Structure 1
Amino acid sequence: MTLEDQINKSNLPRHLAIIMDGNGRWAKQKGLLRALGHESGTKAVRETVESCAKLGIQNLTLYAFSTENWNRPKLEVDTLMNLLIKSLKDELKTLQKNEIKLNSIGNLSLLPKSAQNELLEVINKTKENNRMTLTLALSYGSREELVSAIKVISDKVKNNIISSETIDETIINQHLYTHNLPDVDLLIRTSGEHRISNFLLWQIAYAELYFTDVLWPDFREENLYEAIISYQKRERRFGKTSEQIK
């Protein structure tokens, strides 16, 4: 029985999120420039996206560039931005072929104008696709997202648009970048690190966490399947007891 055969298609995570980590270490291990590690990582992105669509996962979010990543050396940041533009152009056909809608979250105003334009163009061209939503977290930080949401909600309270007494989880969800996405069911992080790194802190409140030592450029379909099989073996109780779930 193959790994794919072991997956229960009726129990897939509605929302899968991945922290794609290890490009730099992968390149260093091979004596290559970090830029080549990032470039090799795009192959893992393509295979993961297509595999998720094939399985029937509805929402996939990839942590592509964090707010903290702006602090990296300028050459590396420029390389990542150029790679983003190239990847968007190269992968449009793949998105259309697989009926995947592109979405993006983060403080996109910080991206170079050329990257913003290319991103918006692909988002617009794929907006009618409905097989899967692929969300790229770009210039994204969960704390920044929460601060932004609180500011908007505070202004609405100040201007009597909403009452402070009505503020609940639903109101907060409506003001997050991910307001059109369900909470994360499964979070995968590659490269052996066991951190969340300021990624979807609100949205992963009850997510199952899966950590693998595989560096992102080496992450393949079988690694994705292993993560999903692990997820399906877990009991998700959401604060209840096992007896209540059964």
Structure 2
Amino acid sequence: MSERAAAVRRLDLGYFVRPAVEVGGPEPRVEPAYGYLVRRPEGLLLFDTGIGTVDPDTEAHYRPRRRPLMTALDAAGVGLDEITMVVNCHLHFDHCGGNPALAGRPIVVQRTELAVARAPGHTIPELVDFPDARYEELDGEAEIWPDVWIIPTPGHTAGHQSLALRQSDGTVILAGQARDFATQYGSDELALRAARDGVADPLPPVPEWLPRLVDLDPARVLFAHDGAVWEPATW
């Protein structure tokens, strides 16, 4: 197995149906839910943990089909007890559903996100405050392990965060739901490039966090709800 394959592995954690009213078009859209295993000398990090149990109204709204976290980990040859740390891009139910199964492990989250998640209407409370939940709260960017950074990428939620991992073949960014699709990220990256090249306005606006990600010179950017991978153009 190559270093690249060993260092980051995508986990299929099921899918859900986003209603047309949220898609902004005439048809609903079926979206995957992905987690990512990150293997480092310091341990095994899990980025997002799958779709949690929800109330009947939310269940009917999104019609999720869950792939249990243990099943996904088994397919990757990993046991629950091997997970050293959890990072959630944010605390909506489709990203933190497996957290209670990892009680006692540190869960890295932005302080802003945890505060919002504990307010009514943001997520499922039982997925946030469960027995032996152990949060490591951050206020902004942090290098949590050597060459592994948490980067705030607010927008989808106020406390959304991404993870950047420097490898020998380039930096990999786990962008979570900072953007829903690789094509959206690619459009943002081009708009920022145009602005830096001095192209005159009007240009599309880009997220405030985008320059930080671009300046990391990512070789790959991966997403929570899109199987496509953004990569820079090569010649």
Which structure has the larger Rg over C-alpha atoms?
1
Pick 1 or 2: higher relative contact order, CA cutoff 8 A, min separation 6.
Answer: 1
Please report the TM-score for the alignment, with normalisation by the length of structure 2.
0.34
Higher share of residues assigned strand: 2
Higher share of residues assigned helix: 1
